[in-house]
Amino acid sequence: MWKFIVRRLFVTFPQILLLSIIVFLMAEMMPGDALTGLIDPNIDPAAIEAQRERLGLNDPWHIKYADWVSGLVQGDLGQSFRFKMPVSDLVGQRLLNTFWLSVATLIFTYAIALPLGIISGRWNDTWGDRLITGYTYVGFAAPLFITALVMLWVFGFQLGWFPTGGSVAPGLEPGSWDYFVSKVQHLLLPAFSMAVITTVSTVQYLRSEIIDTKQKDFIITARAKGAPESRVYNRHIFRNSLVPIAAFFGYEITGLIGGSIFVENIYGYPGMGQLFLDSVLLRDFSVVTVVVLIFGIAAILGALISDILLSIIDPRIRIK
C-alpha cells in the first residue's frame, strides 16, 4: 500500500505544476495589468511603458512564469492592489479560517450522511427511508445560498443562538480559551448550513450502495456462516458500501470550495471564498491568481486523499 501512496504522490506534483501554468496563463490573458487604471491618467504613456519594461511586464510568458513561480516558492505571492499589502499576509489568516470552516463542514457532512445513509439503506422503503430520501430531494433542489440565508435568519437573527458575522468576536486575546470558543461559535452555523446541503448526495450514494451490497452473494455467505444481522451489516455490507463514498471524497472537497464562496459571503466570514469574490469584483488579479491556485491545489489534494482512502478500504486498488 505504501508503494501505491508514493506512486500516487509522484503523480500529484506534475498535476500541481500543470495547474500553476494554466492559472498563470489565464491570469495573463486577462486584459490590463498592474499599470492599467491604477495610475494617474496624466502621466506620460511613454513613462508608463518604460516602467512596464523595467518591471518585466513585456517579457515573454515563460520568463514571467518562471519569475512568478520562483517568487511563489519563496513565499512572495505579490501585492494586493486593494489592500496594499502582500498577498501572502492577506491569504494567510483567511486560508486558516477557510480551512477550519471546511473541516467543520466535512465533519457535519459525514456526521449527517453516515447515519442517514445507513438507516435509509438498511431499512429501505420504510417510512424512515422515505423521510430521509424526501430530505435529500429537497437538499438537491434547494440552492445553498437560499438555505444559508434562511438558516442565518432563523438561527442567527430570530433565535440568536449563533453570531451572524465574522470569524471571531472582537477584543479577544488570540490563543485564549474564550477566543477559541468564539471561533468555534462563528464556525458552526456556516459549516452546518453548508453541510445540510452538500451532504445529500453522499446520503443518496450510501443508501443506494447499501441496497446494492445487501443483495450480493457474499452477504448470503456471511449469513450462512451464522453471522447475526448486526455483524452482517457492520462487517460486510457497510465496508463494501464505503468504497464509492471514499471515491466521492475528492469531489466533496471541490464542492466545499464552491460552497465556501457563497457561505462566506452570506455570513461575512473572512475566508478564501469571500476574498475570491471581492477580488474578482475589484479586479485584484494578483490575489485572484493565488486564490485560484490554492483552490486548485485543494482539489488536487482532495483527489489524492480520496485515492489513498480508497486504497486503504479496497485491496483491489493497491499496486503490488
- Quote the least distance from Cβ 73 to another protein, whole Å: 41
Cα separation, 140 vs 37, in Å, equals 43
- Quote the least distance from Cβ 316 to another protein, whole Å: 5
Cα separation, 102 vs 98, in Å, equals 6
Piece of the chain touching another protein by CB under 8 A; list 45-53, 140-148, 184-192, 212-220: 212-220
Of residues 62 and 225, the one with the C-beta less far from another protein: 225
- Quote the least distance from Cβ 231 to another protein, whole Å: 8
Residue from 70, 93, 221, 234 in contact with another protein (CB under 8 A): 221
- Quote the least distance from Cβ 225 to another protein, whole Å: 4
Residue-wise DSSP of 251-269: HHHHHHHHHHHHHHHHTT-
Cα separation, 272 vs 292, in Å, equals 10
Residue from 194, 222, 266, 310 in contact with another protein (CB under 8 A): 222
Of residues 7 and 235, the one with the C-beta less far from another protein: 235
Of residues 182 and 311, the one with the C-beta less far from another protein: 311
Q: Does 315 bind another protein (CB under 8 A)?
A: yes
Look at residues 218, 223, 273 and name the one whose alpha carbon lies nearest to residue 241.
218
Buried/exposed code over 202-219 (b: 16+ C-beta within 10 A; e: otherwise): bbbbbbbbbbebbeeeeb
Q: Which of residues 71-110 bind another protein (CB under 8 A)?
A: none
Q: Exposed, middle or buried: residue 72 (CB in 10 Å: 0-12, 13-18, 19+)?
A: middle
- Quote the least distance from Cβ 10 to another protein, whole Å: 25
- Quote the least distance from Cβ 216 to another protein, whole Å: 7
Look at residues 119, 115, 130 and name the one whose alpha carbon lies nearest to residue 211.
119
Backbone phi, psi, residue 269, to 5°: -95, 120
Cα separation, 46 vs 18, in Å, equals 36
- Quote the least distance from Cβ 116 to another protein, whole Å: 23
CA distances from 65 to 70, 285, 297 (A): 8, 15, 17
Q: Which of residues 227-256 bind another protein (CB under 8 A)?
A: 227-229, 231, 235-236, 239-240, 243
Of residues 55 and 319, the one with the C-beta less far from another protein: 319
Cα separation, 295 vs 254, in Å, equals 8
Q: Does 223 bind another protein (CB under 8 A)?
A: yes
Q: Which of residues 7-66 bind another protein (CB under 8 A)?
A: none
Q: How many residues bind another protein (CB under 8 A)?
A: 23
Residues that bind another protein (CB under 8 A): 216-218, 220-229, 231, 235-236, 239-240, 243, 313-316
